[in-house]
Amino acid sequence: DQQVKQNSPSLSVQEGRISILNCDYTNSMFDYFLWYKKYPAEGPTFLISISSIKDKNEDGRFTVFLNKSAKHLSLHIVPSQPGDSAVYFCAASAFDQGGSEKLVFGKGTKLTVNP
Amino acid sequence: DTAVSQTPKYLVTQMGNDKSIKCEQNLGHDTMYWYKQDSKKFLKIMFSYNNKELIINETVPNRFSPKSPDKAHLNLHINSLELGDSAVYFCASSRRGPRGNTIYFGEGSWLTVV
């Protein structure tokens, strides 16, 4: 039961171009979304987040877009740099019936930025 | 200074053994987690503790037992290890829940059961 889906396991782009990573979710209870970045042999690190009351959040070269009606979000990186090469995890958060907040991750998309 | 540290980083052990992975965070966070990343690359939560109290316990075999001696530590004990337990286990912490307060992950512990 994949509640958070990243259908592209990998993406390759040229340095300086835009990288667009996509994520779809199925649970309408999710109301907070995050992107994490992971380098090999390291733990994931927080990149950017967005609340469901917004449709866009920007932080430097990184912008996350949220389309609630389509249950879709995307991460845009522009311009892409070789150091952005990593696995990007989409995550969604909701409170369960017990009031505990749960974070559900997608499988990740491996981004390669070629010089 | 490592914010969330877990040991060992690599562990190879035989089926049936009992092993532990230790985790410590020096961020002063109230909530700690254990996540598992299996061969299919999914990163799934196993347990969550808030101030030493268990608040999330996903459906994992009872061979897995978390122990939190204080809010800076959350250790994972695994009894009677099975081949399917081979995975990367990530410890993490956050100030409260993940919302608005980012989760900080450790580097992961690569467990291989042979």
pLDDT per residue of chain A (115 residues) written in tens, 0 to 9? 679 999 999 999 999 999 999 999 998 989 899 999 999 888 999 999 999 999 999 999 999 999 999 999 999 999 999 999 999 999 998 877 777 777 889 999 999 999 9
Q: Are A103 and B94 in contact (CB under 8 A)?
A: no
Q: What is the DSSP letter of A107?
A: -
Residue A41 lies in a domain: yes
Closest-CA distance of chain B to residue A105, Å: 6
Name which of B60, B48, B57 is nearest B97 in CA terms: B48
Name which of B75, B69, B27, B20 is nearest B47 in CA terms: B75
Residue type, B50: N
What's the pLDDT at A77?
A: 98
Portion 43-82 of B in contact with A at CB < 8 A: 43-45, 48, 55-56
Q: Are B17 and B11 in contact (CB under 8 A)?
A: no
Domain CATH number, residue A46? 2.60.40.10
Residue A103 lies in a domain: yes
Q: Residues A81-109: pLDDT tens digits?
A: 999 999 999 999 887 777 777 788 999 99
Tally of domains within chain A: 1
Q: Say whether A100 and B56 touch across the interface (CB within 8 A).
A: yes
Looking at CATH, the fold of the domain delimited by B4-113 is given as Immunoglobulin-like (2.60.40)
Question: Containing H/E element for B37?
Answer: strand B31-37
Residue A84 lies in a domain: yes
Strand partners for A115 = none
The boundaries of the domain holding residue A56 are 4-110
Question: Considering CB atoms only, which of A34, A41, A107 is closest to B41?
Answer: A107
- Disruptive mutation site among A1, A5, A103, A105 for chain B (greatest number of B CBs within 10 Å): A103
Residue A54 lies in a domain: yes
Residue A115 lies in a domain: no
Per-residue CA distances from B26 to B2, B3, B104 (Å): 8, 5, 11
Name the residue ranges covered by the structural domains of chain B.
Answer: 4-113
